[in-house]
């Protein structure tokens, strides 16, 4: 069965179909278009997707959603971005799946992937999730529009950097289960304090459907604030964490022989023992949130535990590999804020060998940015970092705080970091690479991995 027919797309968007066609996927980036896809040609500030229609159809697109005339099979609408939103809403309206929304200052992509794996283990081929970090005003409707008709569950990541953004996204997703992974300083440039961040994350509960479940981190200092945000909308509130009072809690979490954790968790009157492949206390917390969601969705907790044992690291979020000279690289290059920096440095601390940290600046931290960066000195020292490579202008306060305490090099950008790192890494080193996405440390990771750069429109 097709994902969408031309007539269904036209009905959902109020557009006009030029021909009969059916699509099996949806994409708005011409580089990602594959055979049978619907290409959504959106006009933006930087470029106009209509310029890439020939490329998209050359790659096998079956149809397009357009705002301008074209000779290719299409549905023409007044505005293709709003039409994508309409298509996402239509997908949500037609599904009978259990819908789960995930947000948080840290851990939302990792938790979303872990939850997908946990549910997929029991419901093979019947679970959908947003890919990559498609969690904003374009990524969420795209992820909804891609959801097959007959799945049993859909897992959607939702992000924000301003108040009010999650209200709009959760109204589109309309989850039955809503998770907040954690609250931490992130995008503080746009918020007066951390409580305001908690309020913005709590907006996810506004979209909960009747009978819905809110899943909240018990150990967060903003727990009560999140509970208050959930109460008007949630039929059930479930907390997770390490505290004995949490509804779903880690009774014990021990480092495993292979670097992960062996966890004993209590879920009401149930107890689950499982191995978690990913290391770190933050991953144990993520796993507890995942188990809470699996339980709320009626999934199999035993199979979920098996899936958590098999979970691999995500590129940019904990993936590990060896360089040609044998150094171990921990790839956390996708993003960074003060909480996630501390968490991954704590993981580095437990690894045997000489510790090297390549740390990119943390962006969107506002007027307190210098303090947040300088405060990383103590977790760096606690992690027994012997050599640090600091990347970006905002790292200057950290460089000052490390002076005379840790051997470091401070460079302006990822290109300079790539060049400097070649003279730093020795065989059997453990190298942590982490920074805000805009710093571009993924290019450093690619160089260490030996990847060949690729281009695209």
Going by the annotation, the residues of the binding site for ATP are: 104-110
Segment holding 16, helix H or strand E: strand 16-17
Q: Token pair 């007027």 is at which residue? A: 367
326: left (phi over 0), alpha (psi -120 to 50) or beta: left
- Find tokens 């994409």 and name the residue: 27
Show binding-site residues.
Answer: 104-110
φ, ψ for residue 223, nearest 5 deg = -55, -50
Q: Are 217 and 209 in contact (CB under 8 A)?
A: no
DSSP 71-131: SSSEEE-S-HHHHHHHHHHHHHHH--SEEEEEE-SSSHHHHHHHHHHHHHHHSTT-EEE--
Give residue for tokens 């501390």. 342
C-alpha 102/C-alpha 121 separation (Å) is 19
Pairwise CA distance, residues 216 & 292, whole Å: 10
To 10 degrees, the CA torsion angle through 211, 217, 222, 224? 50
- Are 361 and 372 in contact by the 8 Å Cβ rule? The answer is no
- Residue 352 token pair: 């045997």
**Beta strand 98-103 with 177-180: parallel, antiparallel or unpaired?**
parallel
- Six-digit token pair at 66? 């357009």
Measured CA to CA, the distance from residue 450 to residue 230 in angstroms comes to 47
Q: Which secondary-structure segment (H or E) carries 431? A: strand 430-434
Listed in sequence order, the DSSP H helices in 149-268 are: 165-173, 194-201, 223-230
Residue 93 parent element (H or E): helix 80-94
Q: Which segments of 351-429 are extended strands (E)?
A: 355-360, 385-391, 407-411
């Amino acid at each position: 069965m097709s994902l969408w027919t031309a007539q269904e797309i036209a009905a959902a968007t109020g557009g006009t179909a030029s021909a009969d066609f059916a699509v099996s996927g949806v994409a708005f980036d011409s580089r990602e278009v594959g055979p049978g896809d619907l290409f959504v040609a959106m006009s933006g500030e930087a470029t106009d997707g209509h310029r890439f229609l020939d490329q998209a159809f050359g790659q096998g697109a079956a149809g397009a959603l357009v705002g301008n005339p074209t000779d290719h099979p299409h549905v023409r609408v007044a505005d293709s971005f709003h039409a994508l939103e309409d298509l996402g809403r239509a997908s949500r309206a037609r599904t009978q799946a259990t819908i789960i929304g995930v947000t948080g200052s840290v851990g939302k992509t990792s938790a979303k992937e872990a939850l997908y794996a946990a549910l997929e283990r029991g419901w093979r081929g019947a679970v959908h999730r947003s890919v990559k970090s498609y969690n904003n005003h374009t990524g969420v409707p795209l992820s909804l529009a891609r959801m097959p008709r007959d799945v049993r569950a859909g897992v959607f990541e939702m992000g924000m950097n301003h108040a009010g953004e999650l209200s709009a996204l959760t109204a589109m997703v309309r989850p039955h289960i809503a998770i907040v992974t954690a609250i931490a300083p992130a995008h503080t440039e746009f918020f007066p304090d951390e409580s305001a961040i908690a309020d913005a994350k709590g907006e996810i509960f506004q979209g909960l459907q009747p009978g819905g479940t809110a899943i909240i981190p018990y150990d967060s200092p903003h727990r009560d604030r999140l509970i208050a945000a959930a109460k008007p909308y949630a039929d059930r509130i479930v907390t997770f964490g390490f505290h004995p009072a949490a509804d779903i809690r880690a009774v014990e979490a021990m480092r495993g022989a292979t670097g992960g954790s062996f966890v004993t968790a209590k879920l009401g009157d149930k107890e689950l023992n499982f191995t978690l492949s990913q290391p770190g206390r933050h991953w144990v917390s993520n796993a507890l949130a995942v188990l809470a969601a699996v339980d709320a969705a009626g999934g199999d907790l035993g199979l979920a535990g098996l899936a958590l044992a098999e979970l691999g690291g995500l590129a940019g979020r904990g993936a590990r590999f060896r360089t040609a000279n044998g150094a171990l690289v921990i790839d956390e290059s996708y993003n960074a804020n003060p909480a996630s920096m501390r968490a991954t440095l704590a993981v580095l601390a437990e690894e045997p060998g000489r510790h090297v940290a390549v740390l990119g600046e943390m962006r969107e931290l506002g007027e307190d940015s210098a303090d947040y960066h300088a405060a990383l000195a103590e977790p760096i020292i606690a992690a027994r970092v012997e050599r640090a490579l600091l990347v970006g202008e905002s790292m200057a306060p950290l460089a000052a705080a490390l002076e005379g305490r840790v051997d470091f090099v401070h460079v302006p950008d990822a290109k300079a970091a790539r060049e400097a790192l070649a003279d730093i890494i020795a065989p059997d080193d453990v190298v942590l690479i982490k920074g805000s996405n805009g710093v571009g440390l993924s290019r450093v990771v690619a160089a260490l991995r030996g990847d060949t750069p690729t281009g695209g429109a």
